[in-house]
Amino acid sequence: MNYLCPSILAADFWELGRQVETVEKAGAPYLHIDIMDGMFVPSISFGMPVLQCVRKRSKLFMDVHMMVAEPERYIEELIRLGADGITIHVEACDRIPETLGRIRELGVKTGLAINPETPVSAVLPYMELVDMVLVMTVHPGFGGQEYIIDCIDKIKEVRRLIDQSYFGVKLEIDGGVTLGNLEMNLAAGANVIVTGSAVFKGDIEANVREFLKRM
């Protein structure tokens, strides 16, 4: 099973409510919430009030991507506001097992992300604690960047690891995903597909339907 996960970072915030309704009605199962702190990544996006607001009106699975230093500081608050899954970066957290353990203890799905330059071996010690591995296919911090083709080998490597020893763990990719490279990414083994610009630019409903048709 593959899951489309539109990233609201690419939404028009004037129209946020309507645009989330549109992706939901068109059948996307997940919504990707990119939280950036201006420290772990250069940019600042949005945070708790946006999650809270979207959560209240939407039944979509809220997939929170924490591009934040020391993400352990925010776990309880994110869960209180309605996160369904929380992904932290292996590069941003000194207390990974404790943080993933805490997320699970509170009944929420765990994710661990690696940047393009981080090897797959960095997630190995934590595989028992994760429900999802996120392989970044751009340098995190901005939407609308070009897919980094070298990441495809890492996607395949994580897929092999999951199939051999961690059956059921999801494999998410994030950054530069388009209808043009979707098939290649699915074939490599990704099954949670984040996409910002390719869904929110242009006809959102038609974009979501086209992605879903090809998944």
- Asked if residue 9 binds ligand DX5 (CB under 6 A), the reply is yes
Cβ-proximal residue to ligand DX5, closest one: 196
- Asked if residue 34 binds ligand DX5 (CB under 6 A), the reply is yes
Calculate the alpha carbon distances from 124 to 121, 147, 168 in Å.
Answer: 5, 24, 15
- Asked if residue 177 binds ligand DX5 (CB under 6 A), the reply is yes
Q: Name the nearest CA neighbour of 193 among 208, 76, 158.
A: 208
Calculate the CA 214 to chain-centre distance. 19
- Asked if residue 174 binds Zn ion (CB under 5 A), the reply is yes
- 63 annotated active-site: no
- Asked if residue 144 binds ligand DX5 (CB under 6 A), the reply is yes
Q: Which of 71, 85, 189, 196 binds ligand DX5 (CB under 6 A)?
A: 196
Q: Name the nearest CA neighbour of 7 among 149, 145, 187, 115.
A: 145
Angle between helix 179-188 and helix 151-165 axes, rounded to 10 deg: 40
Residues that bind Zn ion (CB under 5 A): 34, 65, 174
> Contact residues for ligand DX5 (CB under 6 A)?
7, 9-10, 32, 34, 65, 138, 140-145, 174-177, 194-198
